[in-house]
Structure 1
Amino acid sequence: MVFDGIILSFIVGFLRKGNLKGLAQLNLKWGWMFPLLLAFEIAVFAFQNDFKILGQASNYIYMVIYILGLLFLFLNRNNPGFILILIGVFLNFLVMVINGGRMPVSLTAASVLDPGYIEALKHSLYAKHTALNHSTHLGFLGDIIPITKPYPRTQIISIGDIVMNIGIFIFIQYLMLQRPRTEDKKVITLSFEGGEK
């Protein structure tokens, strides 16, 4: 869902006549951490079912990734939208950490997905996720919201995902619209003053 939010934010930014100048001015504390954590999480998710030891330890690995991600977001909380991103990630982290490091998934919501996914989920073959049941804590924070047609990609998301993507949208709109406009105004002002002299 994160990738969807990023792509949608860029599309809206371009439709609003924004540009990518703000990306060149982006200066985040520990800026290298986000792509590194993302790549590491993707790698674990891709191979956790192929290597038993990785699958067994994946919940602990995900928790470490989340903790480092939360630290990164906290250090950069003054950026527009980052507080919402931080809250969204924390909500996902919270429901996972109190359920053994796995994200609870509603089987009812998951009915929109491929039947093979539901069977794998029931047998805990998707190590990052677990089926939501009567023993799940804070289940309402799990993946319980199905998204299907007309949306181009069928998936299930959590409340945390929604909050996080709102924050991502705000941040990217700021980068594409607010910062470039501010810089342009500075350039115009300086040029005008120079002409006066």
Structure 2
Amino acid sequence: MFYFLIIGFLIAALKGNNPITTLQHIEFRASYLLFIGLGIQIALAYYTAATGESLPYVLEAAFIVLVLSLMINRGKPGIKLVLAGCSLNLAALLFNGGKMPVSYKALQIADLEHLSDYSSASRHQHMDSQHIQWLGDWIPFFTPIGTNYVLSPGDLVIGAGLIIYIVRITKWRVTVI
């Protein structure tokens, strides 16, 4: 998602807006829910890396908290797309036992084959025999600095929403003295 944020900031800057100073003016209701959902995902990744144990229902709960936060803020520009993408990712998790299916072929194309061992993954599994595979991670995403990814359709929808959000909320802030 980092790259989608960067793209949003670049587009805003090319339009003559000042995206950096706008960050201090973001108004997101119940933002603590957003931070809780993201925090749970980060903590779960560290927990799984340290113990090798996966807690899929915790990941699903984190996504539910994120969806709730986004529903509260759905009137903001781009947030309906972020909500739709997050909901697609949640559906993929729910239909696949709490883990996101990932295409091995997409990992190969993105030169990420080394990530195909999911024995200690907190949120990913092989796509081979999973349900609703089109919701999983199967889209190779290449970056100019070589940090490639494999994304889901939900990730792309989230990215589009984030770009719209950043571009639409950024503007020159003029302080009148």
Identity rate, percent: 28
CA distance in structure 2 between the partners assigned to 1:95 and 1:36 by the alignment = 21
Q: Is the 8 A contact 2:71 2:83 kept in 1?
A: yes
Q: Which residue of the partner structure matches residue 76 of structure 1? A: 73
TM-score, with normalisation over the residues of structure 2? 0.88
Deviation at 1:36, TM superposition (A): 3.3
1:1-150 alignment, distance < 5 Å: 2-19=1-18, 20-52=20-52, 55-57=53-55, 59-111=56-108, 112-118=110-116, 120-121=117-118, 124-133=119-128, 135-148=129-142, 150=144
Q: Is the 8 A contact 2:36 2:65 kept in 1?
A: no
Deviations along 1:29-64, whole A, 9 cap, x unmatched? 111222332233112112303214xx232x111101
CA distance in structure 1 between the partners assigned to 2:124 and 2:35 by the alignment = 22
- 1:173 maps onto 2:167 in alignment: yes
CA distance in structure 1 between the partners assigned to 2:136 and 2:151 by the alignment = 8
As a proportion of its length, which structure holds more helix?
Answer: 1
Deviates more, 1:83-92 or 1:7-16: 7-16
CA distance in structure 2 between the partners assigned to 1:154 and 1:33 by the alignment = 29
Aligned pair count? 175
Gapped runs of 5+ residues in structure 1?
188-197
Deviation at 1:126, TM superposition (A): 1.4
When the two chains are superposed, the root-mean-square deviation of aligned CA atoms in Å is 2.2
Deviations along 1:15-34, whole A, 9 cap, x unmatched? 22211444333222111222
CA distance in structure 2 between the partners assigned to 1:37 and 1:24 by the alignment = 21
CA gap of 1:152–1:77, structure 2 versus 1, over 3 A, is same
Deviation at 1:6, TM superposition (A): 1.2
TM-score, with normalisation over the residues of structure 1? 0.80
CA gap of 1:126–1:26, structure 2 versus 1, over 3 A, is same
Deviations along 1:66-100, whole A, 9 cap, x unmatched? 00000000000000001000000000110111100
Residue identity matched to 1:97: L
